[in-house]
């Protein structure tokens, strides 16, 4: 889909925009989310807190300008994509806003991606430049760059490791030589601003295009009406920036009001999260049910100090009553749940501190319309189960290079989520499962068939089936039922081997958390795996 096609897909003055009084001039660059803090006298205020040192708004804007100027020096054209393969450090927002201000389109990707997925991101996006962590430079070798348009790889955060390909540029000698001021590109509010990739159902993620006005819209809707951030707030999002949920929490929302953001690199071990909260004293804390569960079950939980936090938020999965109650009993704060998606950019259903129902996704966030229909698109009555649709001005207009999926998901301004919900008599929405086989594990979509196909390639596996299992605390996880080849022992070593195999072939979050061994899988009369009989393993 071309830039012109994208503009043709966008409709202005939607009911959602009118509901929150949202409007922007036609000439608008999303970099204003950051740079307008200079105009409002916040240059000396800390924008980012991190283990690499705190960075003020003035310094962050200077870094962004240097990166933007450096990108322009490479001869990129307006709208060219720039892949970002970065940890959550001050370099990440500088790269995002530097690219956007210069008129380019940053493509956010996760640093846990294997080489094959890196190559796909580069091929699919057509990115001519990649800005990466120095420690990951070895991943960007000839194999990853084969059949891509990528001409330049820059280590903008830390020196490249000794095994890095020779083509990787040392970022400190690249962007620091450029000017620290940069005029914003004259973009239209409906031009492309940045991309994210959604989880792929068959090993092929979908590029989700977001526009220049989308960040401001989520700030005017969810942040203004649910978070109610103030300039003196400090946000700490354990979910990462490349994840749509983390992007809003760490970038859009704090910068939109001149608040601070704690950026945390590395794995979110419970002890590290506790230390980060102790060190930086955040006022708003964002997590996933999986994270809250890990924190509660950690030995350090009873000594943890969240007294600085005024609001705790959870999204992406259903939060159990046990976790909710344990957290409230220890810290005196109730966790506020919500539901969003990469396609909508952030949360569109949410509880609030004043109005909430445990286990529910909440009510529509101002600025978004919600409807439930049957599979044929006919509305269902309140209290009946239906498939959820959402409409708001932060909706993506398309999946890049995926007209089939775009037509299936984006219809007449609405996004068909594929989630089954029930709306109760008070207008709260409750998740009832998926209309397809996708499940959400640790806040990210997983397609069981993809894992099944991967496991079947392992030399020890004769046959297997992968299915979703609901844990006692209501989180969903992935279970593999495996029949091994003759002579192979079903022990703990074999289980770890199979799990590692999936982690390295796919993505780390897609591995089966539970592996159960059987002599033979149940079959139907035609010799196919009997999926109905497999339910006994859940």
The stretch 103-124 carries a mean pLDDT of 94
Encode pLDDT of 423-478 as tens digits.
999 999 998 877 777 788 888 888 887 898 889 889 999 888 898 888 888 888 99
pLDDT at 7 over 70: no
Position 507 scores a pLDDT of: 85
Q: Kindly provide the residue ranges of all beta strands, DSSP E only, lying in 374-523, ordered along the sequence.
A: 386-391, 399-400, 410-411, 414-423, 429-434, 439-441, 444-446, 461-470, 476-484, 514-517
Give me the helices (H) in 307-447, please.
Answer: 321-331, 403-409
* Model confidence, pTM: 0.86
Position 74 scores a pLDDT of: 94
Position 8 scores a pLDDT of: 44
Comparing CA positions, the residue from 174, 97, 83 lying closest to residue 127 is 83
Judge contact between 278 and 303, C-beta under 8 A.
no
pLDDT at 166 over 80: no
Position 470 scores a pLDDT of: 87
- Helix, strand, coil proportions of the chain in percent (round to 5)? 30, 25, 40
pLDDT averaged over every residue in the chain: 91
Rounded to whole angstroms, the maximal C-alpha distance in the chain is 73
- pLDDT bracket for residue 139 (50, 70, 90): very high
Query: Residue 115 class from Cβ within 10 Å (0-12 exposed, 13-18 middle, 19+ buried)?
Result: middle
CA dist 151 to 83, 116, 127, 147, Å?
12, 18, 9, 11
Position 275 scores a pLDDT of: 97
pLDDT at 172 over 60: yes
The stretch 71-97 carries a mean pLDDT of 97
pLDDT at 237 over 60: yes
Position 92 scores a pLDDT of: 98
What tokens were used for 120? Answer: 């796909």
Encode pLDDT of 507-523 as tens digits.
888 999 999 999 988 87
Nearby residues of 70 by Cβ (< 8 Å), 6 or more positions away: 98, 154, 174, 175, 177, 178
The stretch 323-344 carries a mean pLDDT of 95
Pick from 90-99, 380-389, 449-458: least confident: 449-458
Cα 172 from Cα 128, distance rounded (Å)? 20
Torsion of CA 422, 424, 427, 432, to 10 degrees: -20
C-alpha torsion sign, points 83, 86, 90, 91: negative
447-537: same fold as 29-45+54-187? no
Comparing CA positions, the residue from 265, 308, 293, 12 lying closest to residue 136 is 265
Helix axis angle, 448-455 to 492-505, nearest 10°: 120
Q: Which fold has domain 29-45+54-187?
A: Rossmann fold (3.40.50)
Position 12 scores a pLDDT of: 54
What tokens were used for 311? Answer: 């609001």
Give me the helices (H) in 150-259, please.
Answer: 214-218, 244-247, 253-257
Judge contact between 473 and 465, C-beta under 8 A.
no
Encode pLDDT of 184-209 as tens digits.
999 999 999 999 998 654 457 899 99
Cα 281 from Cα 272, distance rounded (Å)? 14
Comparing CA positions, the residue from 154, 93, 101 lying closest to residue 127 is 154
Q: How many CA atoms lie within 13 A of 430 on its CB side?
A: 17
Judge contact between 431 and 417, C-beta under 8 A.
no
Q: Please measure the distance between the N-terminal and C-terminal CA atoms of the chain and give it in whole angstroms.
A: 42
Comparing CA positions, the residue from 36, 103, 23, 399 lying closest to residue 252 is 36
At 373, phi and psi to the nearest 5?
-135, 165
The stretch 214-234 carries a mean pLDDT of 97
Q: Kindly provide the residue ranges of all beta strands, DSSP E only, lying in 318-436, ordered along the sequence.
A: 335-340, 347-350, 363-364, 369-373, 386-391, 399-400, 410-411, 414-423, 429-434
CA dist 186 to 66, 78, 93, 104, 508, Å?
18, 10, 20, 11, 40
Position 437 scores a pLDDT of: 75
- pLDDT bracket for residue 2 (50, 70, 90): very low
Residues paired with residue 312 on neighbouring β-strands, in sequence order: 285, 335
Cα 163 from Cα 149, distance rounded (Å)? 23
Give the homologous superfamily in CATH for domain 447-537: ANL, C-terminal domain (3.30.300.30)
C-alpha torsion sign, points 467, 404, 196, 14: negative
Q: Where are the domains of the chain?
A: 29-45+54-187, 447-537
């Amino acid at each position: 889909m071309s830039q012109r096609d994208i503009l043709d897909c966008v409709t202005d003055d939607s009911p959602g925009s009118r509901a929150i009084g949202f409007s922007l001039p036609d000439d608008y660059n999303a970099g204003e989310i950051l740079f307008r803090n200079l105009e409002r006298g916040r240059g000396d205020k800390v924008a980012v807190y991190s283990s690499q040192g705190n960075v003020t708004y003035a310094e962050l804007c200077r870094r962004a300008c240097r990166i933007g100027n450096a990108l322009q020096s490479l001869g990129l054209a307006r709208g060219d994509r720039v892949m970002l393969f970065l940890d959550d450090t001050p370099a990440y927002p500088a790269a995002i806003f530097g690219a956007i201000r210069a008129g380019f389109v940053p493509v956010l990707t996760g640093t846990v991606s294997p080489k094959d997925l890196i190559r796909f991101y580069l091929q699919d996006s057509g990115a001519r430049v990649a800005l990466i962590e120095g420690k990951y430079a070895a991943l960007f070798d000839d194999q990853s760059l084969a059949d891509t348009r990528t001409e330049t790889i820059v280590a903008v955060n830390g020196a490249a490791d000794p095994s890095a390909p020779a083509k990787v540029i040392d970022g400190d000698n690249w962007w620091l030589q450029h000017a620290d001021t940069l005029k914003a590109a004259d973009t239209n509010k409906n031009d492309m601003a940045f991309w994210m990739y959604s989880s792929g159902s068959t090993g092929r993620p979908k590029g989700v295009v977001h526009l220049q006005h989308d960040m401001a819209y989520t700030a005017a809707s969810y942040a203004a009406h649910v978070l109610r951030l103030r300039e003196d707030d400090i946000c700490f999002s354990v979910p990462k920036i490349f994840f749509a949920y983390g992007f809003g929490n760490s970038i859009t929302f704090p910068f939109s009001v001149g608040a601070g953001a704690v950026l945390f690199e590395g794995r979110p071990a419970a002890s590290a999260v506790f230390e980060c909260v102790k060190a930086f004293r955040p006022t708003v804390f964002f997590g996933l049910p999986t994270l809250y569960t890990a924190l509660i079950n950690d030995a350090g939980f009873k000594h943890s100090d969240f007294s600085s936090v005024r609001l705790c938020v959870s999204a992406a999965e259903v939060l159990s009553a046990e976790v909710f109650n344990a957290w409230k009993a220890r810290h005196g704060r109730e966790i506020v749940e919500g539901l969003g998606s990469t396609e909508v950019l952030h949360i569109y259903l949410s509880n609030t501190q004043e109005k909430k129902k445990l286990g529910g996704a909440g009510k529509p966030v101002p600025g978004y319309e919600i409807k439930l229909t049957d599979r044929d698109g006919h509305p269902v009555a309140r209290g009946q189960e239906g498939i959820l649709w959402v409409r708001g001005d932060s909706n993506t207009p398309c999946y890049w290079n995926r007209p089939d999926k775009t037509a299936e998901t984006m219809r007449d301004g609405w996004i068909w989520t594929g989630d089954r919900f029930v709306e109760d008599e008070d207008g709260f929405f409750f998740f009832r499962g998926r209309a397809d086989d996708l499940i959400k594990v640790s806040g990210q979509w997983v397609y069981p068939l993809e894992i099944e196909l991967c496991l079947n390639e392992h030399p020890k596996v004769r046959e297997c089936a992968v299915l979703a299992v609901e844990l006692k605390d209501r989180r969903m996880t992935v279970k593999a039922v495996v029949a091994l080849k003759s002579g192979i022992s079903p022990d703990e070593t074999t289980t770890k081997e199979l799990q590692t195999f999936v982690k390295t072939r796919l993505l780390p979050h897609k591995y089966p958390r539970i592996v159960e061994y059987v002599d033979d899988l149940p079959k139907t009369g035609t010799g196919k795996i009997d999926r109905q009989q497999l339910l006994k393993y859940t």
